[in-house]
């Protein structure tokens, strides 16, 4: 297992906020950046049902993140390979296969979304937006963990600020419609729980993707607090987005890019471009998080064999190979079909290989395993 780096200089931001911002970074691209995912899993439940489903998803994220962070620190397992070898034993390979499927699907979604954004904003051919995103992900991941942490920090500032402005402009442009929709909507009913559970399940894998960001934790209390903050911190922008979408319920559920549709209704000069840029940044940080986890998994395996970690060129090459396959899938299938079919498959997959083992074997290990020092662990 990889030993934790010295945490004595870790800041309050690194200990408590960075894990949540990293989780948001991984989830946002495939979770709600364009609004297509919200339309798929929450809009069918209606205004109040959608919010109830989002609350359920937040609760699941919070509990699973807190347990994952605490178990990772107790085991000193700061990449997904080490974590699942400790949790599942020989069965860890099941998660490895599942994660590779996840990466191919999720980055294909990012590529398809980037292509749609490039076409809607600049009139580009679909492949060009996908290519620009792929090159940006390769460049960012090649620079290593420090650069990734800085990306999560500053991209998050941009994302929260733009979503706040988005809600302000939505309320000023069609706030009366939002209020009328919620006033006329019935209480939550129907199958809203299924949407919240599915959405939470395919996204919560982000909690193990961002394990490299947990090396700054100094105690189990840090791990628990970081996990409890992570769920709400990740969902806040999605709730703001969903509320704005309700101005055009239920027709907004049929839009490929709900974000672009709402921006056209607002007609705020310059903000359309700012918001689409923010979505691109959100897709970038999500893609970087997914590829960075693979780079750190490879680095951990090499370190365990007393071999040097991959350098910048090797990290870039790994990212380029993965991204080439993912963008091919994006071009062949398309955004709507990827989200509608692929995400439900991932939800069941990660429930089986991650969530259920974590809440059973993981909790048992957490109770029985003291948080030993790195020096006490085998190499």
The pLDDT of residue 378:
36
The answer to whether residue 9 sits within a structural domain is: no
Q: At 353, is the pLDDT very low, low, confident or very high (cuts 50, 70, 90)? A: very high
Mean pLDDT of the residues in the chain: 87
pLDDT at 339: 62
% pLDDT > 70, the chain: 91
What integer pLDDT is reported at residue 4 of this predicted model? 45
State residue 333's pLDDT score.
63
Q: Is residue 16, in this structure, part of any structural domain at all?
A: no
Q: Is 8 inside a domain boundary?
A: no
Over the stretch 234-271, which tens digit does the pLDDT of each residue have? 999 999 999 999 999 999 999 988 988 999 999 898 99
Tally of domains in the chain: 1
Q: What confidence score (pLDDT) does residue 52 get?
A: 96
Residue 6 inside a domain? The answer is: no
Per-residue confidence (pLDDT) for residue 2, from 0 to 100: 45
Q: What is the 3-state secondary structure (H, E, C) of the chain?
A: CCCCCCCCCCCHHHHHHHHHHHHHHHHHHHHCCCCHHHHHHCHHHHHHHHHHHHHHHHHHHHHHHHHHHHHHHHHCCCCHHHHHHHHHHHHHHHHHHHHHHHHHHHHHHHHHHHHHHHHHHHCCCHHHHHHHHHHHHHHHHHCCHHHHHHHHHHHHHHHHHHHHHHHHHHHHHHHHHHHHHHHHCCCCCCCHHHHHHHHHHHHCCHHHHCHHHHHHCCCHHHHHHHHHHHHHHHHHHHHHHHHHHHHHCCHHHHCCCHHHHHHHHHCCCCHHHHHHHHHHHHHHHHHHHHHHHHHHHHHHHHHHCCCCCCCHHHHHHHHHHHHHHHHHHHHHHCHHHHHHHHHHHHHHHHHHHHHHHHHHHHHHHHHHCCCCCHHHCCC
Residue 4 belongs to a domain: no
Of 52-66, 299-313, 352-366, least confident by mean pLDDT is 299-313
Q: Has residue 374 been placed in a domain?
A: no
Q: Is the pLDDT of residue 326 over 80?
A: no
Query: Is residue 34 domain-resident?
Result: yes
pLDDT category at 31 given cuts 50, 70, 90 is confident
Which structural domain range is residue 55 located in?
Answer: 23-368
pLDDT of residue 377: 38
Mean pLDDT of 314-321: 89
pLDDT (tens digit per residue) in 191-234: 899 999 999 998 999 999 999 999 999 999 999 999 999 999 99
CATH of the domain at 191: 1.20.1740.10
Instruction: Tell whether the model's pLDDT for residue 5 goes beyond 50.
Output: no
User: Quick one: pLDDT band at residue 56, thresholds 50, 70, 90?
Assistant: very high
User: What is the structure's pLDDT at 1?
Assistant: 44
Among 85-94, 116-125, 340-349, the range scoring the smallest mean pLDDT is: 340-349
Residue 375 lies in a domain: no
């Amino acid at each position: 297992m990889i030993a934790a780096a010295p945490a004595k200089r870790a800041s309050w931001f690194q200990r408590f906020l960075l894990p949540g911002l990293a989780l948001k970074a991984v989830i946002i691209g495939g979770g709600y950046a364009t609004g297509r995912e919200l339309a798929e899993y929450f809009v069918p439940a209606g205004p109040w049902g959608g919010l109830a489903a989002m609350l359920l998803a937040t609760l699941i994220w919070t509990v699973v993140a807190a347990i994952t962070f605490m178990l990772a620190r107790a085991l000193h397992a700061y990449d997904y390979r080490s974590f699942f070898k400790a949790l599942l034993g020989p069965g860890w390979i099941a998660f490895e296969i599942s994660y590779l499927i996840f990466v191919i699907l999720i980055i294909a979604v990012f590529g398809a979304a980037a292509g749609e954004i490039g076409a809607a904003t600049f009139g580009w051919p679909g492949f060009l937006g996908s290519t620009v995103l792929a090159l940006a992900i390769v460049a960012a991941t090649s620079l290593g963990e420090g650069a990734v942490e800085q990306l999560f920090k500053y991209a998050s500032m941009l994302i929260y600020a733009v979503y706040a402005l988005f809600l302000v402009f939505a309320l000023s442009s069609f706030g009366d419609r939002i209020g009328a929709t919620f006033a006329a909507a019935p209480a939550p009913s129907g199958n809203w729980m299924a949407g919240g559970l599915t959405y939470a399940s395919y996204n919560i894998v982000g909690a193990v993707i961002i394990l490299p960001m947990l090396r700054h934790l100094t105690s189990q209390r840090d791990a628990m607090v970081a996990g409890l903050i992570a769920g709400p911190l990740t969902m806040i922008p999605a709730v703001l987005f969903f509320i704005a979408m309700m101005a055009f319920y239920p027709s907004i559920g049929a839009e490929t890019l709900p974000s672009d549709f709402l921006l056209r209704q607002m007609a705020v000069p310059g903000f359309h471009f700012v918001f689409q840029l923010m979505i691109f940044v959100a897709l970038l940080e999500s893609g970087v998080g997914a590829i960075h986890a693979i780079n750190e998994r490879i680095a951990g395996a090499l370190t365990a064999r007393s071999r040097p970690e991959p350098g910048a060129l090797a990290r870039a090459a790994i990212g380029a190979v993965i991204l080439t396959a993912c963008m091919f899938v994006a071009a062949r299938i398309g955004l709507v079909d990827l989200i509608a079919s692929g995400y439900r498959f991932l939800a069941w997959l990660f429930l089986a290989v991650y969530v259920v083992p974590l809440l059973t074997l993981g909790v048992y290990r957490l109770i029985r395993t003291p948080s030993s020092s790195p020096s006490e662990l085998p190499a």
